[in-house]
Structure 1
Amino acid sequence: MRQVIFNSFFGVGADANAYYAAARLPDTLYNLIAGGALIHAFIPVFLAYEKEKGEREAWRLTSLVFNLVLVSMTVVLLLGEFIAPTFVNTILIPGYTPAERDLTTTLTRIMLFQPLILGLGTVITAILNSRRQFLLPAVSLAVYNVGLIGGLLVAKWVPGVGIYGPTYGTLVAVLLQLVVQLPGLFKQNVRYSFVWDFRHPGLRQVLILLLPNALAISVAYIGNIVDTHFTSYLPDSASLAALHNAEMLQALPVALIGQAVGQSLLPHLAAQAVAGRYVRMRQMALKVIGVSMALTIPAALLLALFGKPTIHLLFEHGAFDAHASDVTNLALLGYACALPGLAAGNLLSGGFFALKDAWTPFATNTYALVVRWGMLYFLFQFIHGTEAILVVPLALAISAGSESIVMAFLLLFRLRRYIKRDEGMKRLEQRRRYQKARKQLPIQLSSNHE
């Protein structure tokens, strides 16, 4: 509903392009500090602290993380406001006109308040997820869209608001996203305290996991900035908005398969890792790979086959014309190829985070970014004209697919090495030695008697 309304009002014109481009810097800064990186770093340490040191110390650790996010995101907000003009004009969209770059800069500065609010909400989401409470975080994502739709309706009813309606609507949306999770937080009997202690061992563990984890996720968002940079030079001015719409359609199965399943899978993997049940982790990893392929390949085929009628049915209204539909469908064909690799990568990364290893996902994400950048340069040499928009999603497909293969190999190899350390295998080996000793005991007694 949100995207249907947005497309109907703004189509794939200059305002839409500026709006989508303006979200790049806030999204990158948010994911560099918080985002999924914080959730993956926080949950294993929180569970370990709760088990080993009790609830009081676990809530103290939570307060430290919350306070650190508050201060860090405030600094990031101020820094982002300062660098926004240079970033937009020289890095993000240098191929656009000066008027489009000025509008993008203004919208970027407004949206930079979003990471601060989202960062605080992410700490709440991490607490709820660590307690295996997933309903309210899921509802908060839906409520986000409600706030944004409200901004779109203001743009429709109030003359002169234009693209500033959905821009300010994003700020209202993230506030709603935070507020809706508060009842679930209060039910957990959370104990907040304003503490600040960088020497706290639990906070250090979170930061040790957060640094490579945040870098790994930010690498993916840097990839989006690279895509936007290349897109600004494409001959069709509708390219950036068309890519966004196509990516959103592709993101639905990625979210359902990769992110939703991966988010609920992480606490189970973390619990198995803490208990030293590596055989079960390996079995679950194999199942994850199988289920991912079984679900994403048919989903990719459905996107390719039914993308055009879906785009026509959902989006081709108002300012979103037939040309916008054609360009969006062309981009969707490329993104459909990227679906299996993206979903598998989201699922497999949870295995490394459960092992408290965030450096491997960072290394594989960096590898994927290099491949993606290289593919952009390579494919632009062969694909031209109206089909040039395919370069961006195809580069993503190649990089995501190769990254998921590398991650699967590394995770299975790691777990195979850990099997000897598995607590269940140790108990089984002890039982075998005990049974063997019992069998040998009568023979020894008989020999002594003789």
Structure 2
Amino acid sequence: MLRGILTVGGWTMASRLLGLAREMLIAAILGAGPLADAFFIALKLPNLFRRLFGEGAFNAAFVPTFAATLAKEGHAVAHQLAERMAALMTLWLSMLVLLGVLFMPQVMLVLAPGFTDEPEKFAMAVELTRITFPYLVLICLTALVSGVLNGLDRFAAAASAPVFFNIFSVAALLVLTPFTPTPAHALAWGVTASGVVQLGIVMWAAARAGMPMRLLRFPKITPAVRGVLRRMVPGLVGAGVTQLNLAVDVIIASLLPAGSVSFLYYADRVAQLPLGVIGAAVGTALLPLLARQFAAGKPLSAHRTLNRAVEFSLALALPAAVAQWVVADAMVDALFVRGAFGPTEAALTSAALAAYALGLPAFVLVKAFAPGFFARGDTATPVKIGLLIVVLNLGLNLWLTQVFAHVGIALATGIAAWLNTAILAFLLWRRRAWYPDRRLRRVLPRQLAAAALMGAVLWGLQLVPVVAIPGARLIRLGLLVGAGLAVYFGAAHWLGALNLRELRALRRRN
């Protein structure tokens, strides 16, 4: 498991760092005004559906079934199941994209009702979303083939594919802008082009792994396919609940003053750096391993695996959350303040980033706990939890935005994530599927102490004045990051919260 986490985490880190460079360029050129708001809505919509039909419900239903089929019935049967699911997904997603492109103005009325007060902004959002919407088919198929690779314990290609999203976005912004009406149009075309490349990469990797995928074939509904679909339906509802939460955030942000969508987007992208590296890596590597352990009748091994996943998640998520909260201003200032993005935009963005940081450990823990249900074939329980979370998130959004404007949306998201985590953990504990073992209970207080010490050091370092030299803000941020890493890992090792020698040994064994 650790090798899988490190592989996915390493590539995700590369993708997130490239993503930061991409956001820095977008902030400098688009700023946080109406054009940026329109593009971020155009990017948000296909991503909402991607998480619904691709990474969320589909992976929760397909990956455990694929892994169990591979273990019990062999390569050929698992390959056949994967190809039939791919053909079915290609058909229904293509129909969805066609309908979305035709009825995009009506969709936008629901997703961003606040834009109707500015007709040009509304029309721009519709036009840009029509360009990006085909990305939905490409990236969902990429998620399917990635699930096949993860089930085969091949993590590198699937984890590296998102790097090309950032590469193509940056290239499009720099190269295509002179040939498009606005820089946002260039970015939109870059998004769709990146989907073609990402799908090509994972298709090539699957073929090399001995499981080539034929997408353009007539779908056939077999008992195995029906089994995945039956498990997928509650997962779709559950994933739909999660995406409804995100949609609620977008809808309410569109009703706030201009720029609110952009402030939340930039803050979220910075917050997503540790979340993507830790949470996505843990969830991706954990699900197929747990599924195989349950299929082999090894519940104790699965319990131990889940505890180590929680321990590793918190070992990285806690310091990341503390660092983001303490140095939010310095991070946003160094990364985004240039060109069309000024100090006012930076202050509003950093406030949202600090709020997102409070929920970061919860977001990561959800990625660790959810596979505990999915690996057992239980996709219905998270649906019931999700319904409660939607109601809570909506109520918190309506209340907190009255007091904190766009920052209230970030706070509501974090509070809802903590409740989601608590309920998942409680239900796993009540079913005797998980409880904190002795090792986890021993290291958690030490992880908290190491993170607190790091936070105190970072707070003190920020009191040192910034030297007026070119690149001083980026240099300062780099020094803060380096100091934070050194203090946390040194303190964690000294306190016994994280054994660095053990990690190296585990990586060699895995």
TM-score, normalising length from structure 1? 0.87
Report the Cα distance in structure 1 between the residues aligned to 2:153 and 2:31, rounded to whole angstroms: 40
The match for 2:409 among 392, 401, 409 is: 392
Contact 2:282 2:309 in 1 (8 A): no
Contact 2:321 2:358 in 1 (8 A): yes
Tell me which amino acid in the other structure corresponds to 2:85.
Answer: V
Deviation at 1:211, TM superposition (A): 1.7
CA deviation vs aligned residue, 1:305-353 (integer Å, no higher than 9, x gap): 1121111111111111111111100111110111111111111111111
Tell me which amino acid in the other structure corresponds to 2:228.
Answer: V
TM-score, normalising length from structure 2? 0.77
Q: Structure 1 residues 414, 195: CA separation in 2 closer, same or farther (over 3 Å shift)? A: farther
The match for 1:57 among 69, 73, 77 is: 77
The match for 1:120 among 135, 138, 141 is: 141
The match for 2:186 among 158, 162, 165 is: 165
Deviation at 1:64, TM superposition (A): 0.6
Contact 2:85 2:219 in 1 (8 A): no
Report the Cα distance in structure 2 between the residues aligned to 1:89 and 1:416, rounded to whole angstroms: 44
Larger Rg: 1
Deviation at 1:285, TM superposition (A): 2.5
CA deviation vs aligned residue, 1:404-450 (integer Å, no higher than 9, x gap): 000011122224499xxxxxxxxxxxxxxxxxxxxxxxxxxxxxxxx
Contact 1:279 1:415 in 2 (8 A): no
Alignment of 1:372-411 (within 5 A): 372-381=393-402, 383=403, 387-411=404-428
The match for 2:39 among 19, 23, 39 is: 19
Aligned residues: 412
The match for 2:224 among 178, 202, 214 is: 202
Deviation at 1:90, TM superposition (A): 4.0
Q: Structure 1 residues 373, 114: CA separation in 2 closer, same or farther (over 3 Å shift)? A: same
Deviation at 1:191, TM superposition (A): 5.1
Residue number in structure 2 paired with 1:106: 127
Contact 2:358 2:414 in 1 (8 A): yes
Report the Cα distance in structure 2 between the residues aligned to 1:380 and 1:120, rounded to whole angstroms: 37
Deviation at 1:89, TM superposition (A): 2.2
3-state SS in 2 of match to 1:180: helix
Alignment of 1:64-213 (within 5 A): 64-95=84-115, 96-158=117-179, 160-190=181-211, 192=213, 194=217, 196-198=219-221, 200-213=222-235
Report the Cα distance in structure 1 between the residues aligned to 2:273 and 2:434, rounded to whole angstroms: 36
CA deviation vs aligned residue, 1:134-164 (integer Å, no higher than 9, x gap): 1111110111111111111134444744210
Report the Cα distance in structure 2 between the residues aligned to 1:416 and 1:119, rounded to whole angstroms: 31
Unmatched tracts of structure 2, length 5 or more: 1-20, 436-510
Q: Structure 1 residues 159, 213: CA separation in 2 closer, same or farther (over 3 Å shift)? A: closer
Contact 1:246 1:332 in 2 (8 A): yes
Contact 1:250 1:339 in 2 (8 A): yes
Q: Which runs of 4+ in 1 moved over 4 A?
A: none
Corresponding position: 1:288 with 2:291: no
The match for 1:272 among 293, 297, 300 is: 293
Q: Structure 1 residues 173, 231: CA separation in 2 closer, same or farther (over 3 Å shift)? A: same
CA deviation vs aligned residue, 1:93-118 (integer Å, no higher than 9, x gap): 33541211111111111111111111
Q: Structure 1 residues 417, 341: CA separation in 2 closer, same or farther (over 3 Å shift)? A: closer
Report the Cα distance in structure 2 between the residues aligned to 1:344 and 1:21, rounded to whole angstroms: 27
Report the Cα distance in structure 1 between the residues aligned to 2:267 and 2:250, rounded to whole angstroms: 14
**Higher mean displacement: 166-175 or 284-293:** 284-293
Residue number in structure 2 paired with 1:221: 243
CA deviation vs aligned residue, 1:192-243 (integer Å, no higher than 9, x gap): 5635322x111012112222222222322221221111112223x2211010
Alignment of 1:283-362 (within 5 A): 283-362=304-383
The match for 2:384 among 352, 356, 363 is: 363
Contact 1:331 1:389 in 2 (8 A): yes
CA deviation vs aligned residue, 1:254-279 (integer Å, no higher than 9, x gap): 11221111111111111111112112
Report the Cα distance in structure 2 between the residues aligned to 1:341 and 1:192, rounded to whole angstroms: 36
Tell me which amino acid in the other structure corresponds to 2:410.
Answer: P
Contact 1:231 1:239 in 2 (8 A): yes
Tell me which amino acid in the other structure corresponds to 1:138.
Answer: A
How high is the sequence identity, in percent, across the aligned residues?
27
Q: Structure 1 residues 172, 341: CA separation in 2 closer, same or farther (over 3 Å shift)? A: same
Contact 1:63 1:195 in 2 (8 A): no
